[in-house]
Amino acid sequence: MEDYDHDPNHAYILVRIFNITRRPKVAFFLNPSELMQTGVLHRGKLEVGPDGYRRYPVDIKPGSWTAVEL
């Protein structure tokens, strides 16, 4: 991702969808690599779940984002 920072032909967006069974909301995070460098996003260590999927847990700094209802 860092190779394409500030390149108008590429966009990286992290999308968080939550409250799916109630009132779904969505939040978009533009340029996640920059957000990690500034401390808004923090990626944890790689985890392998019982289903075999590998994932990185991500923490989002409270108060640094807003969401919209779908």
What's the confidence (pLDDT) of residue 4?
A: 62
pLDDT tens across 26-70, in order?
888 888 888 888 888 888 888 888 888 887 778 888 777 777 777
Instruction: Please tell me the distance from the alpha carbon of residue 11 to that of residue 52, in angstroms, as a whole number.
Output: 29
3 has a pLDDT exceeding 80: no
Q: How far is CA 50 from the centre of its chain?
A: 23
Q: What integer is the mean pLDDT of 4-28?
A: 81
Residues 6+ apart with CB under 8 A from 15: 26, 27, 28, 29
For the chain, where are the alpha helices, taking DSSP H only? 32-37
